[in-house]
Amino acid sequence: MNPKTDYKNILIKNAVPIFFAAICIFGVISANINMSFLMSELISRLARNSFLVLSLIIPVIAGLGLNFGIVLGAMSAQAALIAVTHWQYSGWEASPLSAFLIATLISTPIALIAGFLVGKILNKAKGREMITSMMLGFFANGIYQLIFLVLVGSVIPMENRRMMLPSGVGLRNTVDIYRTSGNALNNIISVQAGTIRIPVFTLIVVAVLCVALYFFLRTKLGQQLRAVGQDMHVSEVSGINVNKMRIIAVIISTVLAAWGQLIFLQDIGTINTYNSHEQVGMFAIAALLVGGANTKKATIAQALIGVILFHTLFVVSPLAGQSLFGIAQIGEYFRVFIAYGVIGVALALHAWKKNK
């Protein structure tokens, strides 16, 4: 192969991230952004969001496409963290880190069960996994709201002035966890470099997940998942229990998403009781796709590059909108448009290739 076509191939293969990198650079230049501000934003966003994006990889490899069902993992995490925060407010003395670890411990079985159910349902909707997982996310959101808006305080006994609505039924819109479990992971090791604060430990956790995923995909189980993703029928014939493999993939993804959401929340410091989880799926998926992944193929590198590009766009676009059009809002709408648009385009491109 001569070097010229090689070069061209790389360009074509990575067209999506290159395109978004170009937009990012254009935005950075036109908004004339302070680089150290951008760096500090990016580092904290990388630490905050990568885990969630990485949780999407296994279902893609197992052929389930983009798992919009990670919102169920996020909900499990929030339920656990709400419970832990409630105990802390009602007198349980716990350090942020132990509260965080207990929340992780509680969220895991909930996410396991949720993942199992999602996997079961997705097995009944083969070929339509993505839309089904998305609708499942909306459905689960209804159940979540039923629990935390209606049942808590009326059926489920709970008393807590600071977390609940004045009527005594339902939780407030936001739950402050800044003092109770905020920065639990970040504070273990964190380095201040000039104006930039680097949450080293959280980044280490992300790195550990990357390594673990890398090795997991090379185990027997990982290989079986990959085989199922490549061809269900061939795998079935060669003795792999396809349905079981698919359920395992969804369970892993949901549990990882629960942990990812906990990392996200400890960094943010507040739980938006009814909104935090909703957009998790969409933003994580958009980030993964911006990194060049598609519904059939996703790598760890794509996830990380995607987080960097997508969040650069997120930071830059309101400022760019302000300096280009004089309207900051246009930039805000632009980034939402990018999030939806990139998912739409990626889905379309993939389905298109498959039909060719």
Q: Does 244 bind another protein (CB under 8 A)?
A: no
Backbone angles phi, psi at 293, to 5 degrees: -75, 165
Alpha helices in 32-95 (DSSP H): 35-54, 57-61, 70-89
Q: Which of 8, 13, 128, 179 binds another protein (CB under 8 A)?
A: 128
Nearer to another protein (CB atom), residue 305 or residue 346: 346
Closest to another protein by CB, 214 or 325 = 325
Tell me the β-bridge partners of 152: 156
Among 21, 113, 125, 204, binds another protein (CB under 8 A): 125
Angle between helices 280-290 and 15-31 (to 10 degrees): 100
Nearest to 138 by CA among 273, 281, 272, 331: 281
Minimum distance of another protein from residue 84's CB (angstroms)? 23
Residues β-bridged to residue 174: 272
Cα–Cα nearest to 282, from 91, 21, 69, 19:
69
Output 42 or 349, the one with its CB closest to another protein: 349
- Give every CB contact of residue 314 below 8 A, 6+ residues apart in sequence: 45, 335
Kindly state the smallest distance separating residue 302's Cβ from another protein, in Å. Answer: 19
DSSP for 240-276, written as a single string? --HHHHHHHHHHHHHHHHHHHHHHHHHHH-EEETTTT
Among 39, 42, 149, 196, interactor with another protein by CB under 8 A: 149
Q: Which of 297, 295, 278 is nearest to 344 (CA)?
A: 295
Two tokens at 202?
């959280």
**Structure-block tokens of residue 186:** 């970040």
* C-alpha–C-alpha distance, residues 85 and 107, integer Å: 13
Short-list 167, 138, 139, CA closest to 152: 167
Q: How far is the CB of 27 from another protein (least distance, A)?
A: 15
Least Å from the CB of residue 290 to another protein: 14
Binding mask of the shown chain, residues 269 to 288, with x at each position contacting another protein by CB under 8 A: --------------------
Closest contact distance (angstroms) between CB of 164 and another protein is: 11
Q: Does 215 bind another protein (CB under 8 A)?
A: no
Interhelix angle for 300-325 vs 35-54, to 10°?
Answer: 140
Taking the least distance from each CB to another protein, the nearer of 3 and 127 is 127
26 lies in the binding site for another protein (CB under 8 A): no
Count of residues binding another protein (CB under 8 A)? 46
Q: Does 138 bind another protein (CB under 8 A)?
A: yes
Of 13 and 120, which has the nearer Cβ to another protein? 120
Tell me: does residue 132 bind another protein (CB under 8 A). yes
Tell me which DSSP letter residue 184 carries.
T
Residue 161 interacts with another protein (CB under 8 A): yes or no: no
Helices (H), 124-217: 129-145, 200-216
Report the distance separating Cα 22 and Cα 14, nearest Å.
12
By C-beta, is 165 or 200 nearer to another protein? Answer: 165
Question: What DSSP string runs through 136-162?
Answer: HHHHHHHHHHIIIIIIBTTTB----TT
Tell me which of 143, 208, 211, 212 binds another protein, using CB under 8 A: 143
Nearer to another protein, 183 or 235 (CB): 235
Residues 307-336 interacting with another protein (rule: CB under 8 A) = 325-327, 329-330, 333-334, 336
Residues 333-352 that bind another protein (CB under 8 A): 333-334, 336-337, 339-341, 343-344, 347-348, 350-352
Which residues contact another protein by CB under 8 A? 121, 124-128, 130-132, 134-136, 138-139, 141-143, 145-146, 149-150, 154, 167, 169-170, 325-327, 329-330, 333-334, 336-337, 339-341, 343-344, 347-348, 350-352, 354-355
